Structure 1
Amino acid sequence: MADAGQQVAAQIEFLRRQLADREPGSLRDAYLAVPVPGRPVLEGTTAPALTPQWQQQPSGLITPATAPTQPIDLLGVYLTFSEIFGFPADSGYTVRQLRVLPLGVVLQFCAELLNALSQPGASRADLDRHFATQWLRDPFRTRVLNLLRDPRRALLVPQALMLLARAAVEHSPDTLPEDTEQGNLVGALLTFSDLTGASGRQGPTVITDQPGELGREIIANQYFNNSTSVAHTLTRYVRRWRHGLPQVDNIGGLVDLAAVYEECTGVTLDDLTIVAGALWIAACHGEVLTPAAELETLLPAGRAAGALSLISAHPDTLREAVQAERAQRRTEWTFDAFQQYPVVRLGDLLLVVDQRYLIDRAFGWLPINDIRFPPRTRSRPAGHKKRAEQAVHTLRRLSELYVSEILHSITGQGGARRVYDDAELKTAFQEKKQKIADAAIDYGDTWIVVEVTTSQLQRDAATAVPGDAQVNDIDKLLDEVHQIDATIQALRRDESRLTGVAGPVRRRYLPLLLLTEGFPVNPVTMTVIRERADRDGLLQGQDVMPLEVLDVEELELIEALQEQQGVSLLTLIQRKQASHLERMPMRSFLYATITTAFSHPQRFEGKISEALRPLETALLKREQPTT
């Protein structure tokens, strides 16, 4: 018993030394500490040790358990042919298969997968598992399903599907002899996963004020995969192409876009809406093939064909367009032919290759190209060049007005004192050659100085063509940054000339670029633009926050958050710039950090219906009984 008592006493003394030996004597009996599982303490004390807990991120990184989302966690990685089958792909395999596959079969295969991925609410993970089960046999099926347990892995790759479609246009015949054994379509697709990006080019990987080869690929990848919400696109379409200019806008040289479109193409915007809208709705219901005769019932004779001539092509026309791309330094991101002709004519059927391309072609910025480059079969109207320039100028002006309207909507509820537009800024700061931004928003202790631009990536920049295209496009944005910088300096000197009252002693300035047609914001582009701005001496001073770049859809998301959760534009930008996603797109930050659901802004109410009203009217008219 004595031995047992001594053992207990020794254990108690050991615990005392472990838990209290190093604490001051006055504290040893002054409080009780309750041990908590998983909460280590410093030896000899009851003080909790600041030992971080660790976790593995989806990217594979081991980070502190409290670490927020990192940029790498937002990237997806596709499965390669080598991973699936255990040996590398044969570089000539795809072409050999396509030569014994009818073009229509390949294009329909690609279209069904692309449109499945584009469906509202579609689960990429569910689609990947479905097609892995459908396409593959064991052991490959089990291997792929196990790899797909990682939510960042993907089997269906839109770029590979578009590359397969493009290659089919070049190599697949329209028809095959009846006794020909057809090629392996799934194998041809999966081969692209190994061959894409395997050109062997080398370039710098350190990003400064030049994107380099790696940067070019990242920019092109993001540009290609950026998916614009249909609701956002149709709402902007109504404002820009349908409503036109407010009567208070007295700027000269502006035109009625709908009238000029019909004048140059012979097709009304209503007819284009009816044809494109009907094809889009069919694709949304899983019908990628639509009989041409069905569209002809919606419009008087010849008018459906006129609209289709702008957005669709026969295989021979598509081949000419794809071959023309070869002479223009085509890359693995170049799909111009399908962007111009998102609908392919296969006999009497119309195939929607990708509904995203169809929506952009009919309702986004691209209809302006129909005005600039009318169909060859139609003679250009008198003064066409001037009319086209006026149309482009009008579309740019309407895009800027649309952004201004959103800013007023946001700040009217978001704690800002006032939005000062460019006219007010120009009146306040009238010095000769004074550059002025498009808007300045007063948030009390902070000015958000906004420049709106319709600039967008040129073709070479968007498709990673080697050269200076991307730097040149970023330098165009620097011209807009000069406007912001000059306005910040004017406000610093004497903001009372704008506001009419003396400003606070301490002000901060947040420079904001708003791009109406989108821009691939990522660590590469943000590093390049900020480095080049710093090189030019722009946005200097401790009172100037880092330059932020948003597109109009992100501004619309912020408008919805402002309405539904009361969080302001300034607050969201400040939170983003304090996060690990500071150089990522605002939408990535919002979706990664906003845990409560939010929907579209109130302004969107009824806009989709308004955009498609010509189609609705045509459908109702078709259903009316004839007398």
Structure 2
Amino acid sequence: MDATNDLVRRIEEIRRLLAEAEPESLRSSYLADPSGGRAVLQGSTAPALVSEWNQHPSGLWLPKSSAQTPAPIDLMAVYLTAEEVYGVTPPTGYTTRQLQRLSLESVLRFSAFWLTALAMPGASARSVDERFAGTMLNGPPRDRVLNLLRDTTRRLLVPQALMLLARTAVQVSPGSLPDGVAQGDLVGALLCISQTMGRQPETGPTVIEDRPGPLGREIIANQHFNHTWSVSGVLARYARRWLELPAEHQSEPAVVDLSQAYEDCTGVRLEDLAAIAGYLWARTVQGCFVVERAELSTLDIPHERREGVLELISNSMSGLREELQRERAELRTEWSFDPFQRWPVIKLPEERLLILDPRHLVSRAFGWLPIWDIKFPPPGRIKPSGHKKLAARAEQTLRHFSEVYVSEVLHHIAQDASTARRVYDDEQLKAAYTAQGQRIADAAIDYPGAWIVIEVTTTQLRREAATAVPDESQIEDIDKLIEELDQINATINSLRADEAALTGIHATLPRRFYPLLVLPEGFPVNPITLTVIRERARSRNLLQGPDTAPLEIADIEELEMIEGVQEDAGPSLLEILQSKNAGSLRNAGFREHILHVMRLSPPKPSRQAELFHAAMKPLFEVLPKAPAER
């Protein structure tokens, strides 16, 4: 074939490749732009409207040009089961049979090791999973797990499964293994818990309206159990609510000295509890989850006071077994770990102390739980005169100071003088709107063109609601929150009618109202709970004006994240609310929107450093002093 014919043939091949699929009528009716890098449809000169596709973590394929913002399902992780790891379905009862051939102490140490690894500051769940697979699995199961973990939405170690392993072991594992009995399969026992965990006989409705249903109950309990918080934030709030604010407001007749009330009711000094719990927590984050009891004798605290603290926060293995036996079977779910939360320190033989999960230790000593020591003193402790009244006043004091703390954070968030805005507190709102029976929110923040109206409530999920007990507790707890919305709604109506009564200035432009419910102790915010709350609010005609944005819910950790963003010259609270309302995670929590949609990395608020030091001061004061240099 000569060169001319060969060239003609090649041109015809190119023409068929590029234009054979085009209708004849189009071949001369438009111009094609053969720009570099611009894809066309195969067999045509027509530009491709969608040139490339990307797969989201959820598996959904979307055009590359579309915004790659996550959906709520993208934030969910799915744990691996024994069947996926071993390739076979485990036999019924495998976990119990294995634990019956394992000593209780060995199971508790195993659970504590991996719970501590997951709770270490800056720990990556993925790296811990890979470490577990590399050290605890061999052969094909290890290879299979490492391959499955390439999917970033898969998890191997689940804190709930480790806690269930410990709880089951307390019930069935012997104190020591008889001679001649082969050791049980500890890893298999754990993975078989993951195999059966979360299986419900009935999932309930798949369309969520104004009731969560069985599946909703599980999701609420899951999020409540796995809620993450910063230790520095917990300690900062402890220092402010339990130590500083009672001293600053001691002249007010309704305020109780919480430290004194704690000692009167328990016989234990609050600073001793902070020192010993702080020391044990510090040892766990060093990777030491078993501590020799003798180590505590190095602290400058008398022996009887140390023992008083340990009586409150620790229990023996046999004591934990007795507590679990006392639990009512109908209240026990896969999310209930009451004895481990009340006694996060476990007494082992030979004078050793085991911290099963450092998260529980921090909550026990520095969160809300010390108020329960005041309300329910240890057995054998003689209650002070007027105990019931004192305990009620102490709890009310803590609730009041929780609201004061939120107000302080709001003032920090809104203190930028470069914009015209101001926080109006409860007292100012009540002075402006004094109609008979008028209900008022706790705060309102004035932004140009907008009001953020805020109600703070220390209401918490009851134990039954938090652990997915199949009753009406979750919907009853949600209804308590709906009652709080009435105060936001009434305040919005007052501002809409006459904001000059509060500000002294008549509004010249229409305002948009952003209702915000703050629960300092946390609440599981997800598409189910937000949908249920908003639907129940709608049925009562609350927050339904065309000038009113959808209700949002935040906890104190999320407000402190926004405080850190503000200190870092980031977007304002109003801008974050507006962004969330328009974002793909508008039905999830603030934390998820800030981290995954706005892609911000909020620094810790600067004031937390001083408060952290105040919380740890009792520990610093009793630590052994280094010998002076000569």
Instruction: Spell out the pairing of 1:128-147 with structure 2 (5 A cutoff).
Output: 128-147=129-148
Identity of aligned residues (%): 49
Kindly provide the amino acid, as one letter, of the partner of residue 53 in structure 2. Answer: W
Instruction: Give distance in 2, aligned partners of 1:2 and 1:203.
Output: 74
Task: Please give the alpha-carbon distance, in whole angstroms, between the structure 1 residues aligned to 2:373 and 2:357.
Answer: 20
Matched, 1:294 2:295: yes
Alignment of 1:243-254 (within 5 A): 243-245=244-246, 247=248, 252-254=253-255
**Cα gap change, 1:178/1:422 in structure 2, threshold over 3 Å: closer, same or farther?**
same
Cα deviation 1:400-455 (Å, max 9, x = unaligned): 01110011111112735111001100000000110100001111101000001111
1:19–1:43 Cα contact (<8 Å) kept: no
Answer whether contact 2:71 2:584 (CA < 8 A) is retained. Answer: yes
Looking at structure 1, the residues matched to 249 and 327 of structure 2 have their Cα atoms a distance apart, in angstroms, of 44
1:571 to 568, 575, 578: 575
Say whether 1:369 aligns with 2:353.
no
- 1:500 maps to what in 2? 504
Q: 2:333 aligns with which of 317, 331, 337?
A: 331
Asked if structure 1 preserves the Cα contact closer than 8 Å seen for 2:161 and 2:194, the reply is: yes
Contact 1:103 1:169 in 2 (8 A): yes
TM-score (norm 1): 0.93
1:84 maps to 2:85 = yes
Quick one: distance in 1 between partners of 2:27 and 2:386? 91
User: 1:395 — aligned with what?
Assistant: 398
SS in 2 for 1:350: strand
2:479 corresponds to: 475
Q: Which residue is equivalent to 2:35?
A: 35
More deviation in 215-224 or 584-593? Answer: 584-593
Matches within 5 A, 1:169-568: 169-245=170-246, 247=248, 252-298=253-299, 299-347=301-349, 348-413=351-416, 415-568=419-572
Please give the secondary structure, in 1, of the residue aligned with 2:623.
Answer: helix
Q: 1:163: Cα distance to partner?
A: 0.4
8 Å CA contact 2:443–2:455 kept in 1: the answer is yes
Tell which deviates more after alignment, 558-567 or 519-528.
558-567
Q: Aligned residue for 2:53?
A: 54
Q: 2-side partners of 1:226 and 1:356: how far apart?
A: 10
Deviation at 1:132, TM superposition (A): 1.0
Displacement of 1:322 in angstroms is: 1.4
Contact 2:298 2:624 in 1 (8 A): no
5+ residue gaps, structure 1: none
CA RMSD of aligned residues (A): 2.5
Contact 1:42 1:49 in 2 (8 A): no
Alpha-carbon distance in 2 for matches of 1:249, 1:566 = 37
What is the deviation of 1:465? 0.6
CA distance 1:2–1:157, shift in 2 (3 Å): closer
Query: Match for residue 608 of structure 1?
Result: 612
Q: Give the Cα separation in 2 of the matches to 1:12 and 1:104.
A: 75
Q: Are 2:585 and 2:597, in contact at CA under 8 Å, matched by a contact in 1?
A: no
2:525 touches 2:588 (CA, 8 Å); kept in 1? yes
Paired AA for residue 40 in structure 2: P
Distance 1:547 1:596, change over 3 A: closer
Distance (Å, rounded) in 1 between the aligned partners of 2:123 and 2:13:
61
CA distance in 2, matches of 1:493, 1:619: 60
Distance 1:45 1:143 in 2: 46
Quote the Cα distance in structure 1 between the aligned partners of 2:90 and 2:188.
9
User: How has the CA–CA distance of structure 1 residues 3 and 42 changed in structure 2, closer, same or farther, with 3 Å as cutoff?
Assistant: closer
Comparing 594-603 with 167-176, greater Cα deviation is found at 594-603
Distance (Å, rounded) in 2 between the aligned partners of 1:151 and 1:270:
43
| Contact 1:313-1:343 at 8 Å conserved across structures | yes
Cα contact 1:40–1:51 (8 A) shared by 2? no
Aligned residues, how many?
Answer: 619
Q: What displacement does 1:4 show?
A: 7.5
Partner Cα separation in structure 1 for residue 342 and residue 511 of structure 2: 48
Contact 1:325-1:336 at 8 Å conserved across structures: no
SS in 1 for 2:166: helix
- 1:244 partner SS: helix
* Unmatched 5+ stretches in structure 2: none
Letter in 1 for 2:396: H
Inter-partner Cα distance in structure 1 for 2:293 and 2:457:
39
What is the one-letter code of the residue matched to 2:466? A
Distance in 1 (alpha carbons) for counterparts of 2:380 and 2:458: 31
- 1:487-531 Cα offsets, whole Å, 9 max, x none, are 001111111100101013311000000110000000000000000
Structure 1 residue ranges, 4+ long, deviating more than 4 angstroms after superposition: 1-25, 41-46, 246-251
Alignment match, 2:122: 121
CA contact (8 A) 1:219 1:462 kept: yes
What TM-score do the two structures reach when normalised by structure 2?
0.93
Could you tell me how far apart the structure 1 residues matched to 2:26 and 2:188 are?
Answer: 68
Partners in 2 of 1:6 and 1:263 — Cα distance? 102
Verify the 8 A CA contact 1:23 1:45 in the aligned structure 2: no
**Residue equivalent to 1:97:** 98
Conserved? CA contact 2:449–2:512, under 8 Å? yes
SS of the equivalent of 1:478 reads helix
Supply the AA of the counterpart residue of 1:339.
Q
Task: Describe the SS at the equivalent of 2:544.
Answer: coil
Q: Residue 139 of structure 1 aligns to a residue in which SS?
A: helix
Q: Answer yes or no: is the 8 Å Cα contact 1:522–1:583 preserved in 2.
A: yes
Return the letter of the residue paired with 1:546: P
Q: Determine the C-alpha separation between the residues in 1 that align with 2:125 and 2:594.
A: 20
